[in-house]
Amino acid sequence: MKIMQNKKDGSGILMFTKQEVEMLNKRNYFTLDAPTLKHFSNTLVKLAAEINEYLPSEVQNLTSDEGQHLNLTQNDKDVIEE
């Protein structure tokens, strides 16, 4: 899995390999071993630290509720611009 943020509009994508998509289709979840979970968390922390740099000002102060479901199909894009 690769996580990328669009530096023009602040949107982002999670890109999965064919094998990862097959795993998600089969089980609807991933199991991450400790080293992979560490890499994943490192990537998320880096993204969290840099995210506001590219978000529109009206989005920067949005808040989220714990356990809130994120609608991932709402703004489905085919390509991310870097």
* Residue range 54-80, pLDDT digits in tens: 888 888 888 888 888 877 665 655 555
* Residue range 12-27, pLDDT digits in tens: 888 889 998 998 999 9
Q: Strand runs (DSSP E) across the chain, as ranges?
A: 2-5, 12-15
**Residue 28, Cβ neighbours under 10 Å: how many?**
7
Torsion angle of the four alpha carbons 69, 18, 33, 42, in this order, in degrees rounded to the nearest 10: -70
- Domain segments of the chain: what residues? 2-54
